[in-house]
């Protein structure tokens, strides 16, 4: 059994967050340390630690994350200019919180996806 993170407590509203949306499968709240004018996290209610732990039965939840990302982006007023969706995975992906979350980032030009470094 995976260890719960702070995100489970946010989802259950046991600790405060600026929550924008919640349904039976996903929860959306603003990142506590935003990197852009809009920076929200789209999180499955079920504790799935990393993308590497996704099971076939999670397909609906993963799809819901994208559908909700589109809706929130529109509500944030960033859809026409565009935005970026990011899911970090494990150590090389620099994932800090082991509960899958999709970052929705926008509201300014975001530049290249990754800094170019020698491969
Ligand atoms: P990761 O590096 O795992 O992809 O991203 C984790 C994100 O969660 C970071 O952007 C960080 O600012 C955010 N975060 C960590 N703890 C909290 C918290 O307690 N509340 C909120 N709203 N965001 C958090």
- Domains: count for the chain: 1
* Tokens matching residue 7: 């995100």
The per-residue DSSP string of 58-78 comes to GHHHHHHHHHHHHHHHHHHT-
In a domain, 116, yes or no: no
Confidence bin at 89 (pLDDT 50/70/90) = very high
In a domain, 117, yes or no: no
CATH number at residue 33: 3.30.428.10
In a domain, 113, yes or no: no
If you average pLDDT over residues 33-61, what whole number do you get? 98
In a domain, 114, yes or no: no
pLDDT digits (tens, 9 = 90+) for 91-116: 999 999 999 999 999 999 999 988 88
In a domain, 51, yes or no: yes
Task: Name the residue range of residue 62's domain.
Answer: 6-106
In a domain, 1, yes or no: no
* Backbone φ/ψ region at 111: left (φ over 0), alpha (ψ -120 to 50), beta: left
Confidence bin at 23 (pLDDT 50/70/90) = very high
Instruction: Report CA(59)–ligand 1 centroid distance (Å).
Output: 24
Confidence bin at 75 (pLDDT 50/70/90) = very high
In a domain, 89, yes or no: yes
pLDDT at 100: 98
In a domain, 119, yes or no: no
pLDDT at 115: 85
Q: Which atom of ligand 1 is nearest to the CA of 18?
A: 22
For a mutational test of ligand 1's pocket, the pick from 9, 41, 88, i.e. the residue with the most ligand atoms closer than 8 A to its C-beta, is 41
For the annotated catalytic residues, the residue numbers are 101
Pocket of ligand 1, beta carbon within 6 A = 6, 17, 29-33, 41, 88, 94-97
Chain centroid to Cα 30, Å, comes to 9
């Amino acid at each position: 059994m995976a260890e719960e993170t702070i995100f489970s407590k946010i989802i259950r509203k046991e600790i405060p967050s600026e929550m924008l949306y919640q349904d039976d499968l996903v929860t959306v709240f603003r990142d506590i340390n935003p990197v852009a004018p809009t920076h929200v996290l789209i999180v499955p209610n079920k504790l799935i630690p990393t993308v590497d732990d996704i099971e076939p039965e999670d397909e609906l939840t993963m799809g819901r994350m994208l559908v909700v990302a589109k809706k929130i982006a529109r509500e944030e007023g960033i859809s026409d200019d565009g935005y970026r969706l990011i899911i970090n995975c494990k150590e090389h992906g620099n994932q800090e919180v082991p509960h899958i979350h999709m970052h929705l980032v926008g509201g300014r030009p975001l530049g290249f996806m990754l800094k170019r470094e020698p491969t």
